[in-house]
Amino acid sequence: MYQLSPSILAADFNCLGEQIRQVEEAGVEWLHIDVMDGAFVPSISFGMPVIASIRKNSSLFFDVHLMIEEPGRYIEEFKKSGADMLTVHAEACKHLDSTLREIRKAGMKVGVAINPGTPVSQLECVLDLVDMVLVMTVNPGFGGQSYIESCTGKVQKLRKMITDAGLDVDIQVDGGINEKTIDKVLDAGANILVAGSAVFGGNIGENVRRLKERMERR
Ligand code: DX5
Ligand code: ZN
């Protein structure tokens, strides 16, 4: 399964609902929602009230990326606001195993993320608890950054770890994904691609169609 998950961090918040409608109309099924707390990452984005508000007019799969310290504190609240999946950072959880289990118990899909400086070996003990691993391909905090080349090898390594373990886990990449970088992450084994500026910069419908076409060729 391949999915394009447009990151609304790059959307125009003045007409957020309309822009979400446009990606939906272009045939997207997932929406990437970046929550930042100003502590785990330098910037602050938005939280539950925004998610609850866009939930009212969208049936997209809400892929919520939590760039917050100790996200285990807010699992129920994100569930209530309409999240379908919560992805938490391995670096942000003291008790990663239990946080991942709690997300599952709350009835959501489970994701775990690692920063560019974190090795994939750190995930060995939790791989069987997750539906998806998010390999960050920029240091989280801001949209519009350039893809970090050393992350390609991490995706390859992780795909091998998953296959060797006989598991069915999606690999998501996030940061600097555009028409120039899309082929190498797909070749490396990623199957869920986040794109912010490459979707919301310019003509949304056309951007989605071009990126999706590259994924559908696989
Ligand atoms: C970065 C966020 C990303 C970001 C991607 O901290 O997690 O989701 O919005 O933006 P682009 O695609 O512009 O690099
Ligand atoms: Zn993200």
43 is annotated as contributing to ligand binding: no
* Structure ipTM: 0.98
Residue ranges of alpha helices (H) inside the chain are 16-25, 48-55, 75-81, 96-105, 151-164, 182-188, 197-200, 204-216
**Ligand 1: which atom is nearest the Cα of residue 141?**
6
Residue 113: burial class (beta carbons within 10 Å; 0-12, 13-18, 19+): buried
Question: Domain coordinates of the chain in residue numbers?
Answer: 3-216
- pLDDT tens sequence across 175-207: 999 999 999 999 999 999 999 999 999 999 999
**Top mutation candidate among 32, 142, 174 for ligand 1, by most atoms within 8 Å of CB:** 174
Q: What is the pLDDT of residues 29-79, one digit of tens each?
A: 999 999 999 999 999 999 999 999 999 999 999 999 999 999 999 999 999
Task: Determine if ligand 1 sits within 6 Å of the CB of residue 201.
Answer: no
The reported pTM is 0.98
**Which CATH number, 2.60.40.10, 3.30.360.10, 3.20.20.70, 2.40.50.70, labels domain 3-216?**
3.20.20.70
Q: How far is the CA of 103 from the centre of ligand 2 (A)?
A: 18
